[in-house]
Structures are given as C-alpha cells and as structure tokens.
Amino acid sequence: MYYIQPLSQYNFDLKAKKLEGLARLAKLGLPTVSNLFVVSPKAYKVFYKTHKLGDDLKYELGKIFQSIRSQGESVTLRNAIYERNNPAVAFSVSNSPNLKTYQEFEKRIVAGYRKAMRTSFDPANLEFSYLIQSFYSSEKCGTLLTTSNRTQILLHAILGQHTNLLFRGDIEPDSYVIQKSTYKILDKHIAEKQYRFKKQRSGLTKVRVNKDEQYQPVLTDEQVVRIAKLAIRAEKTYGPQQIDWAILDSGKIIFQETHNLEKPNNIRFAEQGEIIYPSEVSGEVVNVHAIPDKGLETLKDKIVITDNLDIQFINKLLFVCHPKAVILTKGSLTSHAATILREAKMTTILIRGVNLPDQDKVKITKRGEIVHE
Amino acid sequence: MNKLIKLSDIAKASQSLVGNKAYRLSLLNQAGIKTSDFFVIPTSITNIDNAITQEINNYLAVNPDIHYAVRSSATCEDGSSASFAGQFTSYLSLTAEEVILAIKKVWESAQSETIKEYCSYHNIDLSVIKMAVIVQQMVSADKGGVVFTRDVFQDRNLIVIEAAKGLGEQVVSGVVDSDKYVLDKKQGKVLEGVLGFQKSILSKSEVRQIWELALRVEKLLGSPQDIEWAIQGKQLYILQTRPIT
C-alpha cells in the first residue's frame, strides 16, 4: 500500500510521540492494541491540495476497514499532528472510537483533516498522521513508571478505561511500589472507590461503584507483577518509560501507549531509602563488600555502599575506617548491623538493590533520600 | 554459686549472676509470657569441669531429641546506650553433643578483637564484663522476626514489625529481605506494609498478636523494646528482648 502501513513496519521519520511509543511496543512484540495501521502524512497532503481523499486512498482505507471488521471488531481512529519545521508543536483533533460502518469511518477522516486545516497553524506545514486500530473496551487501566527511582516501579490502577482521568486527579488510584530486581510488591495503597467513568454513547459518564467493590483492589498481585514484567521489557530497550496499560474485558493485558520518562538535567533525581540514622551528608560513594587489607584510610569520609551486614565487618567499618555515611543495600531496619550503626550515630539508610558507581557524588537527606549532585 | 540455673529459679538469683538477657526473659516468663525454656551457665562459672559437664548433660538428657540455641547473656549486654547487638556469637540448632563446645565459643567471643573495638568506641571497660550463657530450647519457627515498640527510624509513635519465614535470626543478621509492617502504636492499625498481600508472611491475626504482646513486654520492662519473636504453629514465643538504643 502507498498511504497506509502497519505501524510495526512504519519506517518514516516518527516525530509524533504517540505513534513512536506504539511503534516501539509493536516492534518489541509487547501486547498492545491490535490492528495498528498508520495513514501517512502523504494522504493529508493530497487532501490539503485537492480537498478530496482520492480513489487510491479510499481503496486502501476500505481494505483496512474491512479487514478489521471481518475479525468482528469495530474501528478506532486516532491522530497525531505536528508542524513540519517544529515537531515540538504537536496536537491532535478528537478521536473517533467504535466505528462500525465505512461511511462513518471515511466521514471522520475527512472531518479530522478539515479541522486541522482550520487551526491557527499553517495547514501547508502540518504533518498529519492517522492511526487506525481495533476498538477495545476495558474495565481496568492505569499508568506505570518503570523508574519511580532507579530500583522501584510505581504503578497506578483505576476502574474504567481512561488513564487521562488519573492525570486530571479525578480519581484516587490504587498505587503499588514494586522492587525492580525481584518484582516483589514493597507497598500498596488501595483507594476507596466512589466512582468509575464509563464510556457511553453520550460521552464519559460517572457511575457509582457498588459497595462491595469500594475497598477491593483494582488488580490482583499477579496482575501487578505481570504488568511490571512486561514494562521492564520496554525499558530494557528504550530506557525508562511511562506506560499506559489496560486490561481488556477478556482479561488480556495491553499497553495503550508508552513515552520516554524524561529526566531533565535541572531536576535532581532522588531515590528514597529507609532511615536507620538520619542526618544530611554529601560525599563520594564507594562500594565495599569486605574490608581491604590495605588502604583502610581510603574509606574515611566516604559514603560506603555495602551488602555486607556481618558484625565484624560493620565494626571495622565504623570504628576503624570512619566513613561519612553508610548505605545498606540488603537486610532490614531491625538487623544487628542497623542497630550498631544507629547506636554509633552513623548516618545510615537502607535501599535494597541500589546500584551506584564508585566516585558518584551524592547527598543523603534527612528524609533518607539519595540525591545525585 | 557453681550450679546451673533453671529458668524457674532465675527470679531467686541476682541479675549479675545470670546476665541481662536471661534476667529479662525470666521476668517475661514470670508474667506468663511464653518464652522458650532455657537454663543459664552463670557468670560465676568460667570453665567447664567434669562436674559442670555432668550437670549440663543431665539437663540435656531430659529432652534428648530437641535442638538448642546457645546465646550470650553478659552483664554489659543490652544496655540503654550500647546494645552489644550481634557482638557476641550465638549458636543455633545445636544437638546436645554440640552444646558444650558452643558455650566455650560464646565465652571466647567476649575476648574477640571486634568486642575490643566496640567497647573502646563506647568507652566500656572490657575487664568488668561478666559473661553468663543461655542454653535455650530451639523453637522450630515457621516465622520469625523482630518488633521495635518505638519507631526509632523516624521518631514516630509507631511499632515496626519485621518478619521472615523460618528463624528470626535471618532478620537480625540481614541475610533475608524481610516483610515490614508499620503499626499505629495505640490502636495496632497497620499503616504501611504488605498485609493482605497474597505473599504476606504474617496474617492479620498474627500481626495483632505480636502487637499486643510487644506492648505487654514494653509495659512490663518499662522502656521501648527490641524484641526477637518466633511463631511455631499458633504459638508466639519471645526469644529475647532488649531496650532500644
């Protein structure tokens, strides 16, 4: 086809973030929305010049539409638009879900092109892509940050289908903190649920949640772990991600979108530890597993990271090496090592599995965070 | 006194003879709190002659099939500013034949380099330390851990429970990542933690049981406590307790 391609094979210059994220998921074979196709900006250019879709495009649209409908599914039309010379200026016109007739589908495509041409941007400079996909409905959805800090995953879950409600603060979500290295759920908060938002013909409707569902978690622990494991596959290839996920009525987990999790340089990146003895110190980190035979003085005034909670090691570290602070990467707050460090008033926090390179400069705050300097 | 002291007789002995740990456990025992049964080699005994060996073997012969823990109970131990936590060696899951050697090793650990460094840092005169040794019946723990009756970490009016499967020793030695439960001290409500998770080590009723018992121990001993506990079946045991430093 000339105008339309499957998203997973779409090799254009993907500047539209929405398409880029979905293309990543499709290329990695992660479960996402089915039947993803892109109508390239070439189609928009034809429409801009002729004010018509053209027979070739109509033929391709008809073929894709029929192929999705033949699977018993209806069609959703989404779009991604940006200015050619300024990709940072990106916007979209309204989406069209659950289309069941080709006439309605074509009408919506034309309406979208026309709407974009009426915006304040120069219509000749717009790069307008449509995304065609299967319509789906889900009762549960949410977002996930693969790096809420370097060692943990943060997941939010709500009833309903619209993750944007989370960002608007309309609904308090269930929230989970998951340890990245083991997928152990470290903490969870189950929100009291008053409403869910349901998509109906009239639009988004607020529906009261049944009493027996009010205090029930949105997800089972197994679902939380499954979503987290899938998300880490995306992170391994593309770096830290913010992922919108959903669970279809069939029980299948899909990722609706993914974005790079931005970490601007001017934002200091903090990792939350558990406090053993609080105070604020700054310094250079050094990873130590055993006391070296020589050069004990090299640990003086350093922030020592260790997974060794053996008391002989801890004594030597404290009473002979005199570090500035200690970060334990293993164990618990009530361990003997933690007790000995606290008694000695040594600034100490516990962050399981934390991984910082030697010579990294960090600050430990009174609240038990590691802030990278 | 050159005789071993049974748990039921500790109340009649002086604290300097049985050491701090044994003394506190006996207070709990007198108050009806379940502790694992034990006897003490008092501070007055400093070497094991034939008579002592015979006496120890007589005690152990009563229950030949069970295992023992051998722990320190020094006169300096578990103070309010220096806990000596983990400083003296403890031995767990010993057969009766292994007990005497373990007692000797606990005595030896009082002279170790690591104790000297610890005492020097805390300005404690090593020469005044007297060492009693506890020989305690092992609890075959399904779950074990530690409870702090005050949140020393963030100075809040909370109770912190840490739990692992098996022996609580794994929690204090830091070899496992334990489950943590933070409770409101007054009401016992779980504020943070993994309770209710499918893989939570403790059930709601176990958390409540530990909370209630921890408050009893704190009240009885008059200060916030760092308590090692174990659950075998439905029975909750206190294995040791010390003031929080």
User: What is the model's pLDDT at position A17?
Assistant: 64
Choose the mutation target among B81, B84, B118, B120 for the interface with A, i.e. most A CBs under 10 Å. B118
User: What is the model's pLDDT at position A87?
Assistant: 66
Q: How confident is the model at residue A331 (pLDDT cuts 50, 70, 90)?
A: confident
The maximal CA–CA distance of chain B, rounded, in angstroms, is 55
Contact assessment for residue A332 and residue B234, using Cβ atoms and an 8 Å cutoff: no
Nearest to A340 among B85, B160, B175 (CB): B85
Contact assessment for residue A91 and residue A79, using Cβ atoms and an 8 Å cutoff: no
User: What is the model's pLDDT at position A322?
Assistant: 92
Token digits for B183?
């409770």
Residues of A in contact with B198 (CB under 8 A): 220-222
CB contact under 8 A, B83 and A340: yes
CB contact under 8 A, A312 and B226: no
Gap between the Cα atoms of B179 and B58, Å rounded: 40
ipTM over 0.90: no
Asked whether residue A264 carries a pLDDT value surpassing 50, the answer given is no
Asked whether residue A148 carries a pLDDT value surpassing 80, the answer given is no
pLDDT, averaged across chain A? 83
User: What is the model's pLDDT at position A224?
Assistant: 93
User: What is the model's pLDDT at position A265?
Assistant: 41
Asked whether residue A282 carries a pLDDT value surpassing 70, the answer given is yes
Asked whether residue A118 carries a pLDDT value surpassing 90, the answer given is no
CB contact under 8 A, B118 and A312: no
Gap between the Cα atoms of A198 and A218, Å rounded: 15
User: What is the model's pLDDT at position A19?
Assistant: 74
User: Between B214 and A174, where is the model more confident?
Assistant: B214
User: What is the model's pLDDT at position A263?
Assistant: 54
Gap between the Cα atoms of A333 and A331, Å rounded: 7
Mean pLDDT of A79-86: 81
pTM over 0.90: no
Token digits for B158?
């909370």
Asked whether residue A268 carries a pLDDT value surpassing 70, the answer given is no
Residues of B in contact with A315 (CB under 8 A): 87, 114, 117-118
Residues of A in contact with B195 (CB under 8 A): none
From A208's Cα to the closest Cα of chain B, the distance in A is: 25
- Cα angle: A240, vertex A243, A244; to 5 degrees: 170
Contact assessment for residue A166 and residue A276, using Cβ atoms and an 8 Å cutoff: no
Nearest to A333 among B173, B180, B194 (CB): B180
* A–B interface: beta-carbon pairs under 8 A: 105
Which residue numbers in chain B have pLDDT < 50? none
Nearest to B173 among A333, A335, A343 (CB): A335
Point out the least confidently predicted range of A97-106, A200-209, A216-225.
Answer: A200-209
Rounded percentage of chain A residues whose pLDDT exceeds 90: 28
Asked whether residue A8 carries a pLDDT value surpassing 90, the answer given is no
Mean pLDDT of A334-353: 89
Gap between the Cα atoms of B99 and B93, Å rounded: 10
Mean pLDDT of A88-116: 86
Contact assessment for residue B145 and residue B164, using Cβ atoms and an 8 Å cutoff: yes
Point out the least confidently predicted range of A13-17, A42-46, B30-34.
Answer: A13-17
A184: contact with B, CB 8 A cutoff = yes
Asked whether residue A363 carries a pLDDT value surpassing 50, the answer given is yes
Asked whether residue A373 carries a pLDDT value surpassing 50, the answer given is yes
User: What is the model's pLDDT at position A266?
Assistant: 39
User: What is the model's pLDDT at position A58?
Assistant: 94
